[in-house]
Chain A
């Protein structure tokens, strides 16, 4: 049995890393502005513990877990789930890795848990699953380049890695908006203010604020969506969806809710009738573009536009928007005309005798024409 001093143990690479070809090296790496020590080397894919709690497929996990009646899923079940989730595009990534190899190393904690590269990890597993046991290329995929955080890395540092790899803009497929919003709200409820969250996630403060607001609307939508379709004494009818179904629907419509937050957040918060109608309109796919969502509150206030949305099928928002636009244009034109007539009358009143004397015959002729026109207009208005 060998005995090592504490300092030596600190400098030992994780046991699951390959000891040679190449030998693991301790290097400095920067994550979200923080300098961290990481082991650079290769790890056997079989020794990596995939991130079961990765929120990227949280919504699909909830639907699946409800279907099988169990909350905890295995690595194999997660792989199956990712394979069947179109938006993950696991098959394409798997093919790409077989062709080009792993471009970015996986990031693991000291005990082998995956922090970043979950898609890549499962894509490699998918590739291995589909390859013949005798395939010579298989050896290349059985180990993968990895950065393993040093043993003394704190929980806070691990958070910095997560932020850098999932919130900073990159070419990777980011987490769904709803999942990101949940993470933001989690931080908010932990007591961080908007400034602190913005700093922690490398986002702007406005984006954090909007995300918190959108999440508030979504929370209300989830309550509505899960409400039974047959109303009880106090309640209005909802959509009667299960929680995972409601979450899926909310996630799909996330950007519409974001648009609502930008356009009529205050009205949505304080007008119960409008809120219920808007949620139903969203669920019934009445809107097909952000511009249509933007006019929802105005449409609610205009009986004609509201009736169009209520009675029309999916996409009725388009007709409602046309009505709202038309009405607004008519009102604006009316007030424009008022303004111009008033300023013209004012101009006439202020003309002094010398200016009137010096008017050209053309101008005087135009004025007589206008006078006759005014007389006709005034008679028409009276009748």
Chain B
């Protein structure tokens, strides 16, 4: 008979003969190299945090009381997974009456999955803009009322702290006390009496121990919003989030773009959701293996806006191919072919920019396309800004519509803020404070005279609502596909009532930008394949097609 017991955070397995061989083989199949030979010889050992992945193997062993209760917890989770899937399959769930009126049918269904008794965690991967935040808050409320959960810890990007606070106050009223923990101000806040703690990812290195202490003290629900921030299992941020997860009894990860690069992005997010139940310590290498593992063990709720919000107008991509000015093209060709790029400063001194690596060259090419004066102060012509002038003149001045403009470079954002001051623009970049972000969004949403929102998708791409506009314009694009996919849906989301959402994309013709946009579209297709979506986020977008500004002129 094989026996297993819990010793100092490890499961130690004992036995002899071929029975031990069988036990080892089954454990290695699930846990891989995490199964090690115990120090005292003969027996096997592995970390108790991997029990979720191998609870069914452990069920066949003779176990001590402590381990038996852990295994029982995972058995309950496995049963809850089956019931949660049945809810999704049936497409119906009767929520508590206080939430029935507040939620849409697709949100009600997701709530049914999240509050399933015994479930340790789930992934809510509904497309961005479908209302995941309110579902998570509702799940917390339902679980708190039945005594299963005592407090909620939310991990999210800095830009979303304010919206979590606002949504909690809006949907939960004064029932719960909310406290925020930003990286800079965690020490000043008193959050000892709070039921809901909202912390940004960057606060974890400083405040992680304190947050962990709170999580350990009471039955805690962890919600990780925009979980693609913790997709890399080698980052400190992910490590700290996983450490916090160990103290929480239940966890939900929320994200509309969970796999912006590859199927591998999903692994850490599932680890956070179900503490290793789906994947354990073994990292499958192929997308097919990952999908089959999720299909057999994971709980994922993924719906597209086209399925759950048919009234929402579809996005229409309007690529504008811009021909670079003569000076820009000259600079661009020099940057593409030479080892150096020579320009003159305002004092007529020669500046030599080195272009030794592919990365340097690529960065310079982007700058020349979008902000040539940042490299060559004597270059006063910027074809993209001139194209933007024409589009904004048409949309804002003539039609009086609001526009959201995205640029991943800071120099063009500064230029645009000055150039279009008549449109009373608001702006969010990485330097904008939490209060400043809330103010910018509020002004854009409510002030009819504020016609322009200018933002960096890396800083403002997630967690804000800009439905006052129905026009989105990409001046330049980020290298990170997730930022593009997320920022697209700040306008295209719940609350948007326009008959059409127009997405203008400015692409410098015959430059690296065409390739970069193709790359983003490719990532979007990849994610759709991984998640089994009917249509990718950039469906209908072809960067090499579209009207050329030359032709238009």
A interface with B by C-beta (< 8 Å): 189, 220, 223-224, 226-228, 231-232, 234-238, 269-272, 275-276
| Complex Cα spacing A275 to B20, Å | 13
User: Is the CB–CB distance between B25 and A224 below 8 Å?
Assistant: no
CB–CB A224/B18 < 8 A: yes
- CB pair B21 A270 closer than 8 Å: no
Contact A235 B17 (CB under 8 A): yes
Given contacts A234-B1, A269-B28, A270-B28, contact A223 B22 (CB under 8 A): no
16 A–B contact pairs at CB < 8 A?
Answer: A189-B39, A223-B18, A223-B21, A227-B17, A227-B18, A231-B18, A232-B19, A234-B1, A234-B2, A234-B22, A237-B18, A238-B17, A238-B18, A269-B28, A271-B25, A272-B22
Q: How far is the CA of A215 from the CA of B39 in the complex (A)?
A: 16
CA distance A294 to B26 in the complex (A): 24
For B16, give its contact among A223, A236, A269, A276 (CB under 8 Å): A223
- Specify which chain A residues have a CB less than 8 angstroms from the CB of B21 in the assembled complex: 220, 223-224, 272, 275-276
Within 8 A of A (CB), among B10-42: 16-22, 24-26, 28-29, 37, 39
Shortest Cβ distance from residue B289 to the other chain A in the assembled complex, whole angstroms: 13
CA distance A354 to B406 in the complex (A): 51
Choose among B19, B25, B26, B29 the residue that contacts A235 (Cβ–Cβ < 8 A): B19
Identify which of A220, A232, A270 contacts B29 (C-beta below 8 A): A270
B17 and A275 contacting across the interface, CB-CB below 8 Å: no
Given contacts A238-B17, A270-B29, could you give 18 more A-B pairs where the C-beta distance is less than 8 Å? A189-B39, A220-B21, A223-B17, A224-B18, A226-B17, A227-B17, A227-B18, A228-B17, A234-B22, A236-B18, A237-B18, A238-B18, A269-B28, A270-B25, A271-B29, A272-B22, A275-B21, A276-B21
A234/B19 in contact, CB under 8 A: yes
Kindly state the separation between the CA atoms of A271 and B18 in the bound complex, as whole angstroms.
13
Whether B25 and A269, one on each chain, are in contact in the complex, defined by CB atoms closer than 8 angstroms, is yes
From residue A243, how far is it (CB to closest CB) to chain B in Å? 13
Task: Please name all residues of chain A whose beta carbon is closer than 8 Å to the beta carbon of B18 when the two chains form the complex.
Answer: 223-224, 227, 231, 235-238, 276
The interface residues of chain A lying within 8 Å CB-to-CB of B1 are 234
Cα A236 to Cα B21 in complex, Å, equals: 10
B99 to chain A, nearest CB (A): 45
A276 to B17: give the CA distance in the assembly, Å: 12
Bound-state Cα–Cα, A235 to B20, Å: 9
Across-interface contacts of B28 in A (CB, < 8 A): 269-270
Query: In the complex, A271→B29 CA distance in Å?
Result: 8
Q: How far is the CA of A189 from the CA of B2 in the complex (A)?
A: 24
Say how far A267's CB is from chain B's closest CB, in angstroms.
Answer: 10
The docked-state distance in angstroms from the alpha carbon of A189 to that of B18 is 23
Whole-angstrom distance between the alpha carbons of A223 and B25 in the complex?
A: 13
Q: In the complex, what residue of chain B is closest to A237 when comparing beta carbons?
A: B18
Q: Residue on A with the closest CB to B24?
A: A220
A166 to chain B, nearest CB (A): 25
Contacts of A236 in B (CB 8 A): 18, 22
User: In the complex the two chains form, what is the Cα distance from A272 to B26 in whole Å?
Assistant: 8
Q: Which residue of A lies closest to B19 (CB)?
A: A234
C-alpha spacing A269/B27, complex, angstroms = 10
Q: A328 to B22, alpha carbons, bound, how many Å?
A: 31
Within 8 A of A (CB), among B21-67: 21-22, 24-26, 28-29, 37, 39
> Which of A189, A236, A272 counts the most B-chain CB atoms under 10 A from its CB?
A272
Contact call A272/B25, Cβ cutoff below 8 A = yes
What residues of B have a CB within 8 angstroms of the CB of A189 in the complex? 37, 39
The residues of A that contact B19 with a CB separation of less than 8 Å are 232, 234-235
Quick one: which of B18, B29, B37 has the most chain A CB within 10 A? B18
The smallest beta-carbon distance between B188 and chain A, in angstroms, is 44
* B24 / chain A contacts, CB cutoff of 8 Å: 220
Which chain A residue has the least Cβ–Cβ distance from B29? A270
Task: State the CA gap A214–B50 with chains docked (Å).
Answer: 26
Q: What B residues does A224 contact at CB under 8 A?
A: 18, 21
Looking at A228, A235, A275, the one whose CB has the most chain B CB atoms below 10 A away is A235
**Bound CA–CA A226/B24 (angstroms):** 17
Q: In the assembly, what is the distance between CA of A55 and CA of B248, in Å? A: 51
Cα A27 to Cα B26 in complex, Å, equals 57
Contacts of A227 in B (CB 8 A): 17-18
CA distance A288 to B198 in the complex (A): 66
Which of B2, B19, B20, B39 is the most central at the interface, judged by chain A CB atoms within 10 Å of its CB? B19
